[in-house]
Chain A
């Protein structure tokens, strides 16, 4: 494979994408909606920041058991969590839109035959197409992040170095998510003879992995974990702690859960708590395994770990009363390594399948 030929294909594909009406419209819509979301996110952030400043001032007056307690400073990453929701919907559509007819259109217009008659190998063509698509999605992501950062600066919010790193990681993870759907679309474009069919196949997979799979995961978790343990029959008023974590995603509810339990020295209650803990672990294990096959679930899990580490900690250990120590960005990413691996493996598998199919494709 020669790089000059590969880049020739990639350059042309990239240029086609970023000048296509379809790409511009969807990207424009995505950027506008993101910007509106970002705007309200920045307002919320500023409100929280004011509240934080007030709390800090009040801290000096506090005495007794709460003396020395420090409120947590809000992070600008909260602003980016709003982008996650748009990414799973419009971002996915953008990725599908640029990939579903990459090969099928060439078959329909017979330009593939013309192209292949020139000195270029098939692998250079398919890799160039993939590279051009990745470049276009990278361009879209970079544009979205640049606008987001520009808006932050416009509102006089300057991210710290750590926050900036988190923004970049968020961008990389979002790009990984987009690549998952781009890879599906490219695969279907190679398999299908017509672009219309390629689009339908891609949408079917899109909805299957984004909605059906997590749903089946929950059903499987319920079926395999059985009924939750019954609490002991004794009248009591335990100290209830209710913790809720919500992903806010469009398509999945797999990471949403509410856990209510009591804390007591009573041995029966302690046993109940242990059973409940085991039950929840079992359910989550089954649900998590099925979620690994869903780019949406993986993306949301990673994005929450990056943008909202506290909420992510609560989701990870819903029955722990003591808040987990903040471990930083690397620590947060370390906890979701399986999701990161899944988000890499998913598009890689589809790209590999596309490659094999394209290399063997009948071009009569």
Chain B
């Protein structure tokens, strides 16, 4: 549904997005991760036809965005970071203004707007958009992104201004929209948010795609290289004796607890040895790096 080929954007001699190759399948909830300034918003602006790439191409539903931005905009919805509205108009009037660009007749507009305002819990709000709180603006932003019932939804830092209840509602809404078969592209620098809603992720660092796949795949790909070694955490009730196994590389001991670095997964052999020695094993597991730590390390690189 979304595809980029060597997508590049240079601003005043500085490369914001550097040869990005990305593929997001239909119906996916894709998390676009990266620290601030990594090029996430610039990528979205190119994908939504709002700026032209310096090099490369990008496609949404098979349409090359730079060549036919208007048709792309007809099938996408976009919630910008810090979304803005016309402060002298109500939420309904703002939505009506945007809806007119899709050639919807008055009745269709009225029905769609009522439906969306109810969806984002802004129905019955008579205030002008200029008097909205940031959270209300964010919710209205979601409604304007959905005004044309888009196939693809681009959400840039969607939970940035939401309170916990708003975040919960947003997650439900994303799940609901994904259930309708929409492709959702969520850009965020908050891993905890992305891992809750997204099925696949891509990590952008300094304008380049560092990794793409499921969270686990990305974490594995980004984990620091340690050869083929595995780390086994062992804890026994009694003091841990010396472990004599040819696969063991080294052991970090800490009383009854140890982290065994081995050439292979020797948990079966290790547990048998400890059992034979009459020891009570409290814990034995493979230690995987925390995803947050992996991503943080990737952010810092």
Contact = CB atoms under 8 A, between A and B. Distances in A.
Contacts of A121: 70
Contacts of B70: 119-121
Contacts of B73: 117-120
A109 interface: yes
Interface stretch (B21-29, B97-105, B110-118, B222-230): B97-105
A112 B11 CA distance: 20
A117 B154 CA distance: 10
A111 B132 CA distance: 14
A209 B88 CA distance: 33
A109 B84 contact: yes
B42 A110 contact: no
A307 B219 CA distance: 80
Contacts of A277: none
Contact of A118 (B82, B84, B101): B101
- Interface of A, secondary structure class, is helix
B88 A20 contact: yes
Interface string A99-140: 000000010011111111111110000000000000000000
Contacts, number: 70
Interface stretch (B43-51, B242-250, B283-291): B43-51
Interface residues of B, number: 32
Given A119-B74, A364-B42, A114 B98 contact: yes
B299 interface: no
A234 interface: no
A363 B98 contact: no
Nearest to A112: B84
Contact of B80 (A4, A5, A106, A113): A113
B102 A363 contact: no
A116 B78 CA distance: 10
A109 B85 CA distance: 7
B233 to A, nearest CB: 46
Contacts of B78: 117
Contacts of A115: 98
B159 interface: no
A12 interface: yes
B275 interface: no
Residue of A116, A117, A121 contacting most chain B CB atoms (<10 Å): A117
A339 B148 CA distance: 49
24 contacts: A5-B101, A8-B97, A8-B100, A12-B97, A19-B88, A20-B88, A110-B80, A111-B84, A111-B86, A113-B80, A113-B84, A114-B80, A114-B84, A114-B85, A117-B145, A118-B102, A118-B147, A119-B71, A121-B70, A362-B11, A363-B51, A364-B42, A364-B45, A364-B51
Interface of B: 11, 41-42, 45, 48, 50-51, 70-71, 73-74, 77-78, 80, 82-88, 97-98, 100-103, 141, 144-145, 147-148
